[in-house]
Amino acid sequence: MLSVHTSPLEQPGTGDAGGMNVYISQTATEMARRGINVEVFTRATSSDQPPVAELAPGVLVRHVPAGPFEPLGRDELPAQLCAFTSGVLRTEAFHEPGYYDVIHSHYWLSGQVGWLARDRWGVPLVHTAHTLAKVKNAALADGDTPEPRTRVIGEEQIVAEADRLVANTAVEARELVGLYGAAPQAVHTVSPGVDLDRFTPGSKAAARAELGLPADAVILAFAGRIQPLKAPDVLLHAAAAMLRRDPSLADRLVVLIVGGPSGSGLEQPQALKELAVTLGIERQTRFLPPQPGPALVRVYRAADVVAVPSYNESFGLVAVEAQACGTPVVAAEVGGLPVAVAHGVSGLLVPTHRARDWAGALASVALRPERHGELAANAVAHARRFSWRRTTDALLDAYASASVSFGALRTEVAV
């Protein structure tokens, strides 16, 4: 597996670490349980990192020196792709030919490396975009920076070269075909999963006590990277609107923001806190740094509603994790979120990003106990449709399909 810009060893929720890190870690670990050796190549960001680290038994993470030993912005990484590719090819050269069977690249930067390694090693390339520049640029948040043309061209090249493209949802599959000209037979739709052993329902009172939150509070939670794309500001505006409608909530409402600045959000790391002050809800708003898995479970269990107001999501792992913990989700009706959330069953989908619409949706779930209870029960059942075991089954089918078509192509060329 190739993951140039972020390592599966990093904590999701800050920097460039997010759902993709979880995806790689979980699928690689599940493959290793089945006796498949997995190596993940990622860029070294510190001289303290060992050349090779074990993520799980059977899963190695290789830190490839490429550029300075420090984090780089994604706009700076294309200049390091030659160095990264050289490191990947050099590693393979120490093995007998045919050591690697399949390359699975994650995100467009990795796809550029995978495309070259595919031709050099004579093995199929499977690519997962995770996000697409043309889709993101069509749904930018106010003030957000468009994805550069360099990325658009890079994605078009990968779509043309990859043996199989893995889409998170049918919507993304259609985008690959319609916007990028992907061959329909090359696209496999594989839904991400959720760790159903970790993310489970539990005591709301205990979770609130551990987080130091009032037992009788109305808690609206956001978990993710703090950047315009993820739109945590929409939740703050909605919370302020709820208080204007019902001032009696002032002593009970808690808006819990879990995550760290990322992407264009790094330019104004205090912007969200400043917005809470401007809206007059600083007393109701609490900020927590990114939380590891067990602590994130507490956040989900403690919340009455988890909000996912993103302008674009290829799937929405946070939404499924929260539902697996028995917490209804209110999400934007964009990208893969209509797959992750069953509207009116496990949560609600909001077709706009207007504060009044979000305030109404959040209140209709958090402040109506009977409806909340029904959605919470359905949320658990809905989340159980997604598992990393099922995701891995489908990925292995995609690998097998890619190997067959790649072998046929090589035979054709030879003839």
Q: Is 273 known as a binding-site position? A: no
Tell me, yes or no, whether 156 and 267 share the same domain.
no
DSSP, res 265: G
Tell me, yes or no, whether 185 and 263 share the same domain.
no
pTM of the model: 0.90
Q: Is 63 known as a binding-site position? A: no
- How high is the pLDDT of residue 415? 46
Q: Is 338 known as a binding-site position? A: no
Q: Is 321 known as a binding-site position? A: yes
How many domains are contained in the chain? 2
Rounded to whole angstroms, the Cα distance separating 328 from 304 reads 7
Tell me, yes or no, whether 227 and 327 share the same domain.
yes
Tell me, yes or no, whether 136 and 256 share the same domain.
no
- How high is the pLDDT of residue 411? 57
Q: Is 16 known as a binding-site position? A: yes
Full domain range(s) for residue 242: 204-383
56 occurs within a structural domain: yes
Question: Phi-psi region for residue 121, left (φ > 0), alpha (ψ -120 to 50) or beta?
Answer: alpha
Phi, psi of 295, rounded to the nearest 5 degrees: -70, -35
The token duo for 161 is 């070269």
The token duo for 57 is 């038994």
**Which residue is associated with the tokens 């690519």?**
127
Q: Is 75 known as a binding-site position? A: no
Q: Is 12 known as a binding-site position? A: yes
Q: Is 327 known as a binding-site position? A: yes
- How high is the pLDDT of residue 266? 53
- How high is the pLDDT of residue 269? 61
Tell me, yes or no, whether 181 and 272 share the same domain.
no
From first to last of its 415 residues, what are the pLDDT tens digits of the chain? 999 999 999 877 666 777 899 999 999 999 999 999 999 999 999 999 999 999 999 999 999 999 999 988 888 999 999 999 999 999 999 999 899 999 999 999 999 999 999 999 999 999 999 999 999 999 888 778 899 999 999 999 999 999 999 999 999 999 999 999 999 999 999 999 999 999 999 999 999 999 999 999 999 999 998 989 899 999 999 999 999 999 999 999 999 999 988 655 455 568 899 999 999 999 999 999 988 888 999 999 999 999 999 999 989 999 999 999 999 999 999 999 999 999 999 999 999 999 999 999 999 999 999 999 999 999 999 999 999 999 999 999 999 999 998 876 665 655 4
282 occurs within a structural domain: yes
- Yes or no: say if 255 and 281 are a contact pair by the CB < 8 Å rule: yes
Rounded to whole angstroms, the Cα distance separating 315 from 289 reads 23
186 occurs within a structural domain: yes
Tell me, yes or no, whether 185 and 227 share the same domain.
no
Q: Is 21 known as a binding-site position? A: yes
Tell me, yes or no, whether 188 and 208 share the same domain.
no
Tell me, yes or no, whether 403 and 368 share the same domain.
no
Q: Is 178 known as a binding-site position? A: no
The token duo for 413 is 């060329």
Tell me, yes or no, whether 145 and 225 share the same domain.
no
- Yes or no: say if 162 and 357 are a contact pair by the CB < 8 Å rule: no
Rounded to whole angstroms, the Cα distance separating 180 from 200 reads 38
Spacing of C-alpha 145 from chain mean position: 19
Q: Is 411 known as a binding-site position? A: no
365 occurs within a structural domain: yes
Residue 326 makes CB contacts below 8 A (sequence gap 6+) with 200, 201, 202, 301, 376, 377, 379, 380
Tell me, yes or no, whether 143 and 214 share the same domain.
no
Per DSSP bridges, beta strands 52-56 and 59-64 are antiparallel
- How high is the pLDDT of residue 144? 81
Q: Is 11 known as a binding-site position? A: yes
Q: Is 73 known as a binding-site position? A: no
The token duo for 304 is 């009455």
Q: Is 5 known as a binding-site position? A: yes
9 occurs within a structural domain: no
Q: Which of 313, 287, 314 is nearest to 299 (CA)?
A: 287
Phi, psi of 226, rounded to the nearest 5 degrees: -90, 100
Q: Is 309 known as a binding-site position? A: no
Q: Is 17 known as a binding-site position? A: yes
Q: Is 20 known as a binding-site position? A: yes
Instruction: Look up the CATH number of the domain holding residue 286.
Output: 3.40.50.2000
Tell me, yes or no, whether 75 and 45 share the same domain.
yes
153 occurs within a structural domain: yes
- How high is the pLDDT of residue 331? 98
5 occurs within a structural domain: no
Tell me, yes or no, whether 293 and 400 share the same domain.
no
Q: Is 294 known as a binding-site position? A: no
Rounded to whole angstroms, the Cα distance separating 330 from 96 reads 51
Rounded to whole angstroms, the Cα distance separating 239 from 224 reads 18
Rg (the chain; Cα; Å): 22
